[in-house]
Amino acid sequence: MALINTIREKSGVAVGAVAVGMLLFIVGGDLVGGKNRLFGRDGNVVGEVNGQKIELPEFNAALEQAKQNFANQQGRQPDEQATGYLRDQTWNQLLYRRAFQPELDKLGLSVGDEEAVDMVQGDNPNPAIRQAFTDPKTGQFDRARLIEYLKNLDKLPPDAQAAFRNFETSLRDFDRPVNKYNALLKNSVYVTSAEAKAFDLAQNSKVNFRYLFVPYTSVSDSAFKPTDAQLQDYLDRHKARYKVEDGRSIEYIVVPETATKEDSAALRQSVAGLAQQFRTAPNDSLFVRANSDQPYNHAYLSPADLPEQLRKQLPLKVGEVYGPYVEGNTLAIYKITGAKAGTKPAARASHILIKADAQMTPEAKAAAKKQAQDILNKIKAGADFAAMARQFGTDGTKDQGGDLGWFEEGRMVPAFSKAVFAATSPGLLPNLVETNFGYHIIKVTAPKTNQTYQVAAVVKAVQPSDATREAAYTRAEQLQADAGSLEAFRALPTKDKTLQKQEAKFVARDAQTVGNLPGSREIVRWAFGNSADGGDTKVGDVRKFDIGDVHVIAAVTGSRDKGTATIESIRPELTAAVRNELKAKQIMAKLAGKTGSLDDLAKAAGNGAVVQTAEGVAQAQGTIPNVGFEPEAVGRAFALKPGQKSAPIQGEQGVLVVEATTLFPATPSDVKMVRQQLTQQRQQRQDGLIYEAIKGQAKVKDNRSKFF
């Protein structure tokens, strides 16, 4: 955005050219889609929509346009993740156009000459044009700049002229007709008075009720072992709930190129030598640039921002070299190149927090304050602060003995910061400090200081040597040779306990990674038979992949096709659902024919049964506090008379019996206003619903996984 704003501050044709470049990002792939298709080659078909092919050259041209627009906006080229996003965006744009075009043609929606002019330079220009030619300082649409750009369009480079003409064509032939199409359907949205009254009733009617709840978790799973016939029956009854896409299950073993102790020792020796050179280096910044894996930072740092190893050495001496220190997977040496007073002081403190928020009753807050004061008194009497923090602290610092580390003035809430930075020496503060978090017992471990330091840092990551990399590669090659079958692959971790097998269940065809393994798109393509080698992968196939600094031995262990899931593909989920049905039957059998109060029924239900009260539950809410989503039980409560109990209900979380106590009917609302509210809500969802409906009717073939 900074780049865009800088450019917009300029004036003239150049601004218009860049503005239109920004604007073209909105239409993206449309410039080369539909009627503007640039290429026509059989064979390289990325996809097909309504019988229209999307070929690889066309797709790549649209993708390159999207990448260029991304670079113009962000000031950098897209990385792998951003490219994946742009690839999906490009596909959706091309699909969108081809799916909509037949519908536009059926209705004969078009744009006349006067309307075409108006949407570019008239009183109602396209929102993209309005945004591109809005002055960032005033927020006003600059029509003069737009007209100047259009007048000088023929003087721009041919590419810029063609881009704008394509943009105009896209607006006229597709974007505006689609807007008209959507407007027709939006304006057809109608809400009846009966719908408005029912909606208002569901939103505003409230009920208080008592309920018996017997959770499914109160019954042991081991007593129920669903058969395949029961699983299939449940699946047949709930097919809509178990729709799935293509998927492949992949098990894999990672062999990383990890630095050894020898590699670390060699680096330590090398860095120790650098430390000697660093002491006498004539130019510290050049030395860092030549020897460090991280760039030179000339900023002055307060103790709050110094590396922990340097904080332990405070005060620091200018010209001194500290280290080497091990910090994670790196070795670091630091040279202090300057020291001066900073603008903000920093201090270090520990605290013990006894929580007391505004939601507490006055009695609860008084109890929290008394507890905090008792702890403070014990510390004053000699108790160890860190031990008391571990015992009584209520926040994330308790395990560190309450240590908050160094922090600059203003980083903490005002009352806490004021108390710490008012101290002139280390030690326990004599009084409690109250903040919106509660009551704090504070010990200042390092009083405030304005001292800052300029630090030149040489940081070297511990990298595996060539010998280590070669050893990892050789090991992976041997593992692949040993994994001649799925059974042999699965046996590898039992033979070598250092190996760990991981699994990714039913990875989607368009997934960019397998599990949490970065850069593993090629494994996904291979699993679906779409890898670069063109092989036809089957369940049981095993292959090695070299991805960055890791080697992966992967095996395809399962496959499913788009449609309704099979028992095997979702057995754990199905088993849990059927088990709950069986538990419900058992619980309801215990309650069958039983009379008496809810407490009496709870005794009959056995262990785990509870009787509780729900207040102010709305009919449309469908959720019972402390239970969860139970729409049937809530609906039954509204159908009962006060004091009347329902029959046992098989719920989502367990079996319930509800007893209504008080019904609060909805106060009649203005039906006209409710109708307007519902109409607006439905219209706001129309664009997305229309596209999904048209996309659902379009005959879409997605072959992207063959290419990307």
CA distance 249 to 557: 5
Reduced to 3 states (helix: H, G, I; strand: E, B; else coil), residue 481 is helix
Q: What pLDDT does residue 23 have?
A: 45
The band of 75, judged by pLDDT with boundaries at 50, 70 and 90, is: confident
Q: Report H helices in 225-306.
A: 228-237, 261-279, 284-291
Instruction: Give pLDDT tens digits for 560-571.
Output: 888 888 898 889
Average pLDDT over residues 26-48: 51
Tokens of 216: 């499914």
DSSP 8-state code for residue 174: I
Q: Report H helices in 127-217.
A: 127-132, 143-151, 158-170, 176-186, 193-204
CA distance from start to end of the chain: 30
CA distance 697 to 50: 9
The torsion defined by the Cα of 570, 576, 582 and 584, in degrees rounded to 10, comes to -130
Average pLDDT over residues 142-170: 85
- Taking CA atoms, 383 is separated from 237, 243, 355, 376, 665, in Å, by 66, 62, 21, 9, 60
| Predicted confidence (pLDDT) at residue 445 exceeds the cutoff of 80 | yes
Tokens of 464: 């595996």
CA distance 658 to 613: 10
Contact 254, 551 (CB under 8 A): yes
Q: Which candidate, 96, 242, 239, 101, places its Cα nearest to that of 700?
A: 96
CA distance 705 to 708: 5
Q: What pLDDT does residue 406 have?
A: 92
Angle between helices 671-684 and 686-697 (to 10 degrees): 50
Reduced to 3 states (helix: H, G, I; strand: E, B; else coil), residue 462 is coil
Q: What pLDDT does residue 579 have?
A: 96
| Predicted confidence (pLDDT) at residue 116 exceeds the cutoff of 90 | no
Reduced to 3 states (helix: H, G, I; strand: E, B; else coil), residue 132 is helix
pTM of the model: 0.62
CA distance 180 to 684: 15
Average pLDDT over residues 240-260: 92
Largest Cα–Cα distance in the chain? 94
The torsion defined by the Cα of 163, 164, 168 and 170, in degrees rounded to 10, comes to 20
Average pLDDT over residues 613-634: 92
Give the mean pLDDT of the chain.
87
Cα Rg for the chain, rounded, in angstroms? 34
Helix (H) or strand (E) holding 463, with range, is none
Q: What pLDDT does residue 79 have?
A: 84
The band of 39, judged by pLDDT with boundaries at 50, 70 and 90, is: very low
Residue 444 φ/ψ, nearest 5 degrees: -80, 115
Amino acid at 347: A
Query: What is the DSSP annotation of 407-454?
Result: EETTSS-HHHHHHHHH-SSSEE-SS-EEETTEEEEEEEEEEEEEEEEE
Amino acid at 490: R
| Predicted confidence (pLDDT) at residue 171 exceeds the cutoff of 90 | no
Higher-pLDDT residue of 349, 65: 349
| Predicted confidence (pLDDT) at residue 122 exceeds the cutoff of 90 | no
Tokens of 533: 């080698």
Reduced to 3 states (helix: H, G, I; strand: E, B; else coil), residue 348 is strand
Instruction: Give pLDDT tens digits for 220-245.
Output: 999 899 999 999 999 999 998 998 88
Q: What pLDDT does residue 236 have?
A: 93
Q: What pLDDT does residue 43 have?
A: 59
Q: Is the dihedral of CA 635, 636, 639, 644 positive or negative?
A: negative
Instruction: Quickly tell me which residue has 């993708």 as its tokens.
Output: 63
Q: What pLDDT does residue 126 have?
A: 86
CA distance 524 to 514: 7
Q: Which candidate, 213, 254, 215, places its Cα nearest to that of 518?
A: 254
- Least confident segment among 90-99, 162-171, 325-334, 495-504: 162-171
Q: Sort residue 393 into left (φ over 0), alpha (ψ -120 to 50) or beta.
A: beta
The band of 531, judged by pLDDT with boundaries at 50, 70 and 90, is: low
| Predicted confidence (pLDDT) at residue 547 exceeds the cutoff of 90 | yes
Tokens of 707: 């290419």
Q: Partners of 252 in the beta sheet? A: 502, 554
Contact 294, 307 (CB under 8 A): no
Q: What pLDDT does residue 127 have?
A: 85
The torsion defined by the Cα of 50, 55, 58 and 60, in degrees rounded to 10, comes to 120
| Predicted confidence (pLDDT) at residue 325 exceeds the cutoff of 50 | yes
Q: Which candidate, 498, 495, 492, 496, places its Cα nearest to that of 480?
A: 492
- Taking CA atoms, 195 is separated from 80, 190, 207, 675, in Å, by 49, 10, 21, 8
Query: What is the DSSP annotation of 7-53?
Result: HHTS-SHHHHHHHHHHHHHHHGGGGGSGGG-----SS-EEEEETTEE
Cα–Cα–Cα angle for 487, 492, 493, rounded to 5 degrees: 120
- Taking CA atoms, 2 is separated from 146, 534, 594, in Å, by 21, 45, 72
DSSP 8-state code for residue 173: I
Instruction: Quickly tell me which residue has 């998927």 as its tokens.
Output: 247
Average pLDDT over residues 301-319: 91
Instruction: Give pLDDT tens digits for 360-418.
Output: 788 888 999 999 999 999 999 999 999 999 999 999 899 999 999 999 998 999 999 99
Q: Please state the three-class secondary structure of 570-618 as a single string.
A: HHHHHHHHHHHHHHHHHHHHHHCCCCCCHHHHHHHHCCCCEEEEEEEEE
Spell out a b/e string for 527-551, using b for 16 or more CB atoms within 10 Å of the CB, else e.
bbbbbeeeeebeeebbbbbebeebb
CA distance 659 to 569: 41
Of all residues in the chain, the percent with pLDDT exceeding 70 is: 93
Average pLDDT over residues 199-221: 93
Cβ atoms within 10 A of the Cβ of 264, count?
A: 15
Q: What pLDDT does residue 22 have?
A: 39
Average pLDDT over residues 28-35: 39
Average pLDDT over residues 182-211: 92
Average pLDDT over residues 461-469: 92
CA 127 to chain centre: 29
CA distance 148 to 133: 11
